[in-house]
A and B are shown apart, each in its own frame.
Chain A
Amino acid sequence: MRKDIHLKDLSRKQKEPLLHLEKKDLMPLPYPLEDPDDGPPFAELKEQIREKYECGLDDTCAVSIPKPATKEEEDALVAKFLSGLEKLFTKENNWTFLQPLLLSMEHCAKCQTCSEACHIYEASGKNELYRPTFRSELMRRLYFKHVKKGGLLSAWQHGDIEINWPLVARLIELSYRCNLCRRCAQTCPIGADNGLVAHELRKIFSQEMGIAAKELHDSGSMLQLQVGSSTGMNAVVVKDNIEFIDEDMEEKTGMKVQTPWDVEGAEVLLIHNAGEILAWPENPGAFAVILNAAGIKWTLSSEVAGYDSINYGVWYDDAQFARVAVKHAEAAKKLGVKKIVLGECGHAHKALTVIADRVLTGDLNIPRESSMTLLRDIVMSGRLKLDPGRNDFPVTLHDPCNMVRLMGIVEPQREVIRKICPRFREMTPHGVDNYCCGGGSGFAIMSGNNFPDWRFQVAGRKKLEQILHAFGDCMDPSIPKYLCAPCSNCKGQLRDLLAYYEMWDKHKILYGGLVELIVNAMEDAKPGFIEWEWH
């Protein structure tokens, strides 16, 4: 492994990637994974993939950009990147983030305080390529040279960089080696934001060059805007699935369960991440059980995007983001509901509640609330009869970055867990200082090539360490353990991460949402809602 990667290396024309990580280079893990060789090997990228796509950065390839056939094509792509870079610094094109971006470009003191905060940098064994400021510094130098049109004096002051296609191709990949968790930004004394820089880079690639991870764009926001959901479910299919879930819930709980659709004037429009409906049906099912039992007047919507809260645009494209946010608000407006409540999905929380707050105006500005708050109110109000004894197993809580560090929803979910889970233990650190699960910014749904190996061995490594520490006193497989992650994307990442390291098979660590724990404790429901089966 080479540790001495320098900024100028990104422009190198060479066939081999700049970085190769060995397992022994990575941050060590605690018991039972202390041996660096524990866990699956990092699959090598296939030669055909390397031939066909731009994979010159590291051991993996997230975006799969086809290699340009000619020098002219390369030059055209570089020119397009530069035009996008200029647009990024105009208010007409980027009013959405212009001020924060300018400040991050012009004021980093290069003190590296942020580095230690980044789980990817730490997990990689502190490899220079993954240092939070590495990509920001590249962007900064490009900004001073090509946007501010700086000459020699500027290069002397801000540093120089040579732009060519290898640099742009590597930057595309590098913008997808950051979870956008903004833990680094929290520690920056100046207030510069390396997560924002990665986000803005992704925007140039998508909004100007039409390049984005296909899971986020083609089969993500595009599919959602056309069909209604990135899962591909249209309104008919989603209603069928929910009907099936209702039946299943009735059987499991022994309670009457019916999910209301398109109820005009309802108090609550609940929007789930539709991935839950397919991957973890017990989550929307548990919501239905709780809301019905608490006497809430609620509804789901069958409008386009009204039944899928995801908004992947928040990770790579402002236009796609705004379109989906408007669709969500329109669904609520059509039904005339009092408020929108977001189900267990962190990025959907932040996208619709916080970021879209400055997109939705007039009658589209419908109040939005977190399900964490609503659930806390229901649980603490005593409207449900709850028996904490039914949750008498070790539980720890993962804090989704979008919901916690980026939205300040920290305590409601804890109040619920403290009330119903007698063996709750926190991770260290937690709350607003939490670590990302490694699936943030879309990684949880990105599985091309060998990207999952990178996702689990590097991006998810710190979270895995935290989980192992949290359950360090009860790793024996005879003790079932529950990792509560009230977020669909985090759950996707954690499911795959735990499976990758065989944490269920060997140590009985299960993962799931918050509502499942609540229903599991409901005295009116049959015992055993949580089935302790891998799913």
Chain B
Amino acid sequence: MSILLYVISYFSLLVFIVACAVRALSYARAPIHLRWELYPVPHEAPHRVGHGGSYYEEPEWWTKSSPRNLLGELKSMGAEILFLKALWEFNRKLWYRSFPFHFGLYILIFAVFLILLCGLISFISPGFMQGSLAAGLQFVFRAAGGGGLALSIWGALGLLQLRLTDSRMKIYTTPGDIFNLLFFIAAFGTLSAGFLLGTGPSTGILAFTRGLLSFDTSFETTGLLAAGLVLTGLLVAYIPLTHMSHFIAKYFTYHNIRWDDAANRRGGRIEVKLAECLAYRPTWSAAHIGADGKKTWADIAASSPARGPKK
């Protein structure tokens, strides 16, 4: 039983890491695209960022350096990642559900790191777990784990209720969307039950963590906690296979698109990338494009459109 739990945990983690990496790489390896930024861009100069201005407001902007306003960017990222600012501003009804859901997840991730830390320390110094610091850590873990689970379940229930009842969302909701939320509720619900009804609320998890780190086959737990751990493991593996991996997507949509205002300078890094793209050979069929599979984008841009039959 314990071995099965460990295998599922490591397997889930591995799937999660590999699937996230594959997804991130697939976006990162896409060629440079045409600029498509959207203002306000928070790394703009502080005197412009308030009204959403860009360096194009400067006369002869190309003669001036425009240092990146890192603080502005961090502030904007922090507000979006931690507090879901866009939802707060534009969709308050959803924010009341989505925020607890996401914030619960953040707290849970924190709790997982904490328990891993406790597990590691207890190997290095077996007496540590008897000390008052350990008791404090365990208290924080219990509060974070319990609070995180409760918040996420509450949020997921709210999201489910909205998906099933809000006419704006109903027609776009697929069975997969419902399943995703039910999966969260089932996994976290079972985990919470195992957590609360188990022999000792945190020793069970700590013992599991220690066992996980050492492949200790003597670890035993309740069926409920085991079921919670298995379901949560599978959920972790499942997330990056779906659109719920938007935490990866958001990095690219914000940094590589909305906020990508990097100007192309002669002989610069962007120009090198563009040279590669302009050498691609498109195969679009419309006559006016004149693509024959041999001409490059550069050739087409330099040519006149062919007059061909329309429509």
Known A65-B311, A319-B288: A97·B87 in contact at CB below 8 Å: no
Q: Are B34 and A97 closer than 8 Å at their CB atoms? A: yes
- Interface membership of B133, Cβ < 8 A: no
Q: Are A319 and B250 closer than 8 Å at their CB atoms? A: no
Q: Are B59 and A373 closer than 8 Å at their CB atoms? A: yes
Q: Are A185 and B246 closer than 8 Å at their CB atoms? A: no
Chain A residues with CB below 8 A from B56, complex form:
353, 369-370, 373, 407-409
- Interface membership of A239, Cβ < 8 A: no
Known A210-B310, A210-B311, A431-B52: A319·B289 in contact at CB below 8 Å: yes
Stretch at the interface among B103-111, B142-150, B172-180, B207-215: B172-180
In the complex, 14 of the A-B residue pairs with CB atoms within 8 angstroms, ordered by the A residue number, are A91-B31, A91-B280, A98-B30, A98-B33, A106-B243, A110-B169, A111-B169, A115-B168, A190-B246, A208-B285, A210-B311, A358-B35, A360-B264, A411-B53
In the complex, which residue of chain A has the Cβ closest to the Cβ of B61? A369
Chain A residues with CB below 8 A from B60, complex form:
339, 367, 369
- Interface membership of B25, Cβ < 8 A: no
Q: Are A189 and B249 closer than 8 Å at their CB atoms? A: no
Stretch at the interface among A156-164, A247-255, A460-468, A522-530: A156-164
- Interface membership of B309, Cβ < 8 A: yes
A358 to B171, CA, bound (A): 39
Chain B residues with CB below 8 A from A410, complex form:
39, 51-53, 57
> Nearest 7 A-B pairs (CB), nearest first?
A191-B253, A408-B54, A157-B176, A432-B52, A322-B301, A99-B30, A189-B86
Chain A residues with CB below 8 A from B282, complex form:
87, 92-93, 319
**Central interface residue in B31, B286, B305, by most chain A CB within 10 Å:** B286
- Interface membership of B203, Cβ < 8 A: no
A80 to B174, CA, bound (A): 28
Q: Are B57 and A373 closer than 8 Å at their CB atoms? A: yes
**Central interface residue in B44, B91, B275, by most chain A CB within 10 Å:** B91
In the complex, which residue of chain A has the Cβ closest to the Cβ of B39? A408
For window 202-258 of B, CB contacts with A under 8 Å fall at 242-243, 245-246, 249-250, 252-254, 256-258
Of the candidates A107, A360, A431, the one whose C-beta lies within 8 Å of that of B253 is A107
A99 to B61, CA, bound (A): 28
A84 to B90, CA, bound (A): 35
A360 to B35, CA, bound (A): 12
Chain B residues with CB below 8 A from A100, complex form:
33, 36, 253, 257
Shortest CB-to-CB span from A126 to chain B, Å, is 9
Chain B residues with CB below 8 A from A326, complex form:
301-302
Chain A residues with CB below 8 A from B90, complex form:
113-114, 116-117, 187, 189
Q: Which A residues have a C-beta under 8 Å from some C-beta of B?
A: 6-7, 65-66, 80, 83-84, 87, 91-93, 95-100, 102-104, 106-117, 128, 131, 133, 137, 156-159, 182, 185-193, 196, 206-211, 217-218, 221-222, 225-226, 319-320, 322-323, 325-326, 339, 353-355, 357-363, 365, 367, 369-370, 373-374, 376-377, 404-412, 431-432
Shortest CB-to-CB span from B245 to chain A, Å, is 8
- Interface membership of B11, Cβ < 8 A: no
A368 to B87, CA, bound (A): 36
Contact with A along B153-190 (1 / 0, CB 8 A): 00000000000000011011111110000000000000
**Central interface residue in A99, A106, A159, by most chain B CB within 10 Å:** A99
Chain A residues with CB below 8 A from B252, complex form:
99, 103, 191
Q: Are A210 and B287 closer than 8 Å at their CB atoms? A: yes
Chain B residues with CB below 8 A from A131, complex form:
168
Q: Are A411 and B288 closer than 8 Å at their CB atoms? A: no
Chain A residues with CB below 8 A from B243, complex form:
106-109
Shortest CB-to-CB span from B61 to chain A, Å, is 7
Chain A residues with CB below 8 A from B40, complex form:
408, 432
A363 to B266, CA, bound (A): 8
Known A187-B90, A222-B305: A196·B36 in contact at CB below 8 Å: yes
A359 to B271, CA, bound (A): 9
Contact with A along B269-281 (1 / 0, CB 8 A): 0110011011011
Of the candidates A97, A133, A319, A339, the one whose C-beta lies within 8 Å of that of B172 is A133
Known A103-B27, A185-B38, A189-B84: A210·B286 in contact at CB below 8 Å: yes
